[in-house]
Amino acid sequence: MPLKPHRVDEITAGIGRSRVLILGDVMLDEYLYGKVGRISPEAPVPVVEVDSTRLLLGGAANVAANIRALGDRPALIGVVGDDDASGKLTALFREKGIDDSLLVTDPSRPTTIKTRIIAHSQQVVRADREKRHGLGPTVEQQVMQAFLSAVDECSAVIVSDYGKGVITLPLLEKVIDVCLTRDVFLAVDPKETRFHDYRKVSLITPNHHEAGFAYGRRINSMEDLIAVGQGLLEKLEAKAILITRGREGMSLFRVGHEATHIRTFARHVYDVTGAGDTVIATFVSAVCAGADLVEAAIVANAGAGCTVAEVGTATVTADQLMKELNRNIRNGNVASAGSDSGHVL
């Protein structure tokens, strides 16, 4: 079932009219750029001479940035510390036009910071400043109250779980129950170590490593992929699972349907940082705009293809999506063909 040009126009025209709630681990991404000219005399490591820095939104904050870039309105809920990093996040939110009024401050933990050192367009090392223990009961209650105050105004909910302690099991169970009761589309970007807690969600978006780990079977073949995708779909009682496969594209598993495999749109891959954030944001925005699950997966694939061509976390606009989708339709990259393992798009 290929994506027709008129549907590209309809879906991209509909993106930008919805409010989407994002709940998860908010981070600050710091990039230090430089060059290597020598090896340290103190240890056999390169010395990077830093000549520029860049601050970007990371984790759930990057999902919100992707939703905002598409034109939809993000309602971001997460936890930050009472520190300098949270102030830097506030400045970035204002710059991007993202409402951060639902964020909860917890003085007992620092704002999560990921620092990446880039030399000659290659990441040399990453340093993380964080505390990953679960939220205390008071802060968890504040987060839940923020969620309840916003969910009725939102067309969909995204849980962005990076395992930094915000998505506790009690909180997750309450969020899932609320979404099921109110028939709200709930998409989860999972943490592989707690995969089986995400039950009865509308969509879950693991990469192939996470999916294989969760199911206990490494994905080395199409047979493995089908077994893992269909197996997780049944175990989690989810409506759909989208397994991202890097250069191999994506595979969508839905209840009552064969798997749908979508070839990658990426022309060049420079940096996959934040690609999962773009995938889930563009998928959900497309669903809110009236796309079915297969159409939304194709749109998400196009979004990922745009962002991996840039260094650092990146976002994509509805106009970029439209151009990328139409380019691939013209080139014959979004055409259906049957296979024994499902449909290949």
Compute the distance between CA of residue 208 and CA of residue 271 in angstroms, rounded to an integer. 17
Residue 42: CB atoms within 10 Å: 7
Would you call 233 helix, strand, or coil by DSSP?
helix
Give catalytic residue positions. Answer: 277
User: What are the CB-based long-range contacts (under 8 Å, 24+) for 300-304?
Assistant: 300/242, 300/250, 301/249, 301/250, 301/262, 301/263, 301/264, 301/265, 302/265, 302/328, 303/66, 303/278, 303/279, 304/244, 304/250, 304/264, 304/265, 304/266, 304/275, 304/278, 304/279
CB atoms within 10 A of CB 147: 21
Please give the structure tokens belonging to residue 27.
């981070």
DSSP annotation string for 278-307: HHHHHHHHHHHTT--HHHHHHHHHHHHHHH
- CA gap 10, 324 in Å, rounded: 15
Distance CA 302, CA 47 (A): 37
Q: Of 334, 303, 286, 340, nearest to 11 (Cα)?
A: 286
Give dist(CA 176, CA 201) in Å, integer: 7
